[in-house]
Amino acid sequence: MPEMTLFKKLRELVHHNDKIDLDLDDIQATVLRERPEPYYGTHAMVRFDTAEGGRELLKRLLPHIASAEKWWDVKYAWTAAAISYEGLKKLGVPQDSLDSFPESFKVGMAGRAEHLFDVGENDPKHWEKPFGTGQVHLALTIFAENEENWQKALVIAEHELEATKGVTLLMREDFGAQPDSRNSLGYKDMISNPAIEGSGIKPFPGQGPAIKPGEFVLGYPGEAGVPLGMPKPEVLGKNGTFVALRKYHTNAGSFNRYLKENAEYTGGDAELLAAKLVGRWRSGAPLTLAPKEDDPELGHDPNRNNDFTYKNDPEGLEVPLGSHIRRMNPRDTKLELLTDVNIHRIIRRATAYGPAYDPKADSLAEDKVERGLYFIFISAKAMDTTEFLQKEWINKANFIGQGSERDPIVGLQDEDLTFTLPKEPVRQRLRGMDTFNVLRGGEYLFMPSLSALKWLSELK
């Protein structure tokens, strides 16, 4: 869209397209509003050393945490806040409230490694500290649409942290500022998020009917027609949601080498192979609509870049059945194991950190560059959904009849595994795929409503 960023376009769409029946002024902006594009920001992990310190920090931060109603009205940028189970305990949340949270949230992501297929090089024993230690009590994220506003917001956040006794900043990671908002492997990201009923934003073509809000925000009916169970009391649970945060390190050199070594299977075109692995060209143009060559104009048009089905590609000749986007949203693909796709959708707020991807760098040294992605999955049942996706759709392929193959982008690879490239008359099976994105850490978090954050800051 010339002369208009997606972020600004979304501003215009809000309040103009469907009946507003969610408490938008109480739901954190990050839940229902896309991050800016381009985007700048910071992730920060904080420990509450005392209950008083934690509550005081929440009180100080609350004015800077924007709602989905007025997410652009904050002074410089918006801040998102999410709290771990250990963080809620440290704040002094009553035991009966703590008991009302899901068991997987209480155990934490590291404790659920087996259910997430976080084994081998993704095992929590290899994670960066402080992830998985139980010390991450609060995760803060600042989003801004330009560097100046990001720096101003960062100064404010640093001041609030320094002025609060009884809290410790454990780590900080800056992100964003990638050319054309590409991710750590050079692909345009954040294209296919689900449309949410009542969010105030009309679905883009190809998104399908809006999904019931209760799948993403607590206190509202989901696809089954009833609200999911939520934490107690209501002031704590309603309008909140859960977050699965996963930090990945990207082996860009290994990815580039793999493309070069296997480009022969696509007629020597490494970029076409890169598109086959994901299901989109790096510009964001879907292979279904641009099967032969990239179409950047299509990739940048939200009214066209998601408007497709797999009706005419049941065998995966254009978009391989095991490609990343076809796994994560099968659409009308015939599934071997019947699944309601809508109840496994998640809101994604991915952010890229480190230097921009270089398509020509294929040395081992490139794998050591600190570059990667934070996958931020938001859902009213984020733990269950993330564990299902990780174990069934990412690290298996029975649901699409591809056996033991794994997601080529975020799957945990093994030297004996293959990637099937459907072709006529004979399919090709590519071997030697490395794990291109290695897990460096993660946390299960609860993202409270604004009223819940106030309630938490005033606990006695």
For residue 100, say whether it is annotated as part of any ligand binding site: no
Indicate whether 166 and 298 sit together in one domain.
Answer: no
Three-state DSSP state, 440: strand
Would you say residue 365 lies in a domain?
Answer: no
280 is in an annotated binding site: yes
At residue 163, what are phi and psi to the nearest 5 degrees?
-85, -5
366 annotated as belonging to a binding site for a ligand: yes
- Asked if residue 306 and residue 275 are part of one domain, the reply reads yes
Residue labelled with tokens 């598109």: 275
* Both structure tokens of 184: 């750590």
Cβ atoms within 10 Å, residue 31: 27
Same-domain check for residues 110 and 222 = yes
In this structure, what DSSP letter does residue 375 have? E
Model pLDDT, residue 2 = 35
Q: Is the pLDDT of residue 1 over 50?
A: no
Boundaries of domain holding 310? 251-342+388-437
β-sheet bridge partners, residue 354: none
For the stretch 202-223, pLDDT in tens is 888 887 789 999 999 999 999 9
Residue at 375 is within a domain: no
331 is in an annotated binding site: yes
Q: Is 192 annotated as a binding residue?
A: yes
353 is in an annotated binding site: yes
Please state, as a whole number, how many other Cβ atoms lie within 10 Å of the Cβ of residue 109.
29
Residue at token pair 């409503």: 449
Q: Which residue has the higher pLDDT, 76 or 281?
A: 281
225 and 262 in one domain? no
Residue 256 lies in a domain: yes
Does a structural domain hold residue 265?
A: yes
| Number of domain units in the chain | 2
Note the pLDDT of residue 15: 45
- The reply, when asked if residue 187 is annotated as ligand binding, is no
pLDDT tens, position by position, 273-316: 999 999 999 999 999 999 999 999 999 999 999 999 999 999 99
Examine the domain organization and report whether 412 and 300 are in the same domain: yes
370 is known to lie in a ligand binding site? yes
Q: What is the pTM of this model?
A: 0.93
| Residue 112 counted as an annotated binding residue | no
Task: Give per-residue pLDDT as tens, 160-195.
Answer: 999 999 999 999 999 988 888 899 999 998 888 888
The answer to whether 324 is a known ligand-binding residue is yes
Indicate whether 299 belongs to any domain: yes
* Cα angle, residue 79 at apex, residues 77 and 83 outer, rounded to 5°: 175
* Same domain flag for 115 and 237: yes
In order, the DSSP letters of 412-430 are ---TT-EEEE--SSS-EEE
Strand, helix or coil for residue 154: helix
Q: Are residues 255 and 242 part of one domain?
A: no
User: Which amino acid does the sequence have at 39?
Assistant: Y
132 lies in some domain: yes
Statement to judge: residues 244 and 255 lie in one domain: no
- Quick one: pLDDT at residue 5? 47
For residue 157, list its beta bridge partners.
none
Alpha helices in 75-178 (DSSP H): 85-91, 95-99, 103-107, 113-116, 147-162
Say if residue 9's pLDDT is above 70: no
Burial of 305 (0-12, 13-18, 19+ CB in 10 A): buried
DSSP per residue over 2-60, as a string? TT--HHHHHHHHTTSSS---S-TTTSBHHHHSPPPSS-EEEEEEEEESSHHHHHHHHHH
Worst-scoring range by mean pLDDT, 40-44, 165-169, 290-294, 424-428? 424-428
19 pLDDT tier (thresholds 50, 70, 90)? low
Quick one: 71 and 144 in the same domain?
yes
Which of 65-74, 76-85, 401-410 is least confident?
Answer: 65-74
Q: With CA atoms as reference, report the closest residue to 329 among 353, 352, 310, 304.
A: 310
Distance from C-alpha of 216 to C-alpha of 196, rounded to nearest angstrom? 8
Residues 215 and 312 in one domain: no
Whether the predicted pLDDT of 8 surpasses 60: no
Q: Are residues 264 and 242 in the same domain?
A: no
In a domain, 152, yes or no: yes
| Ligand-binding site membership of 282 (annotated) | no
Same domain, residue pair 115 and 126: yes
Residue 447 lies in a domain: yes
What contacts 282, CB < 8 A, 6 or more positions away?
182, 186, 187, 188, 271, 274, 275, 294
Give the residue carrying structure tokens 């376009």: 9
Q: Is 294 left (phi over 0), alpha (psi -120 to 50) or beta?
A: beta
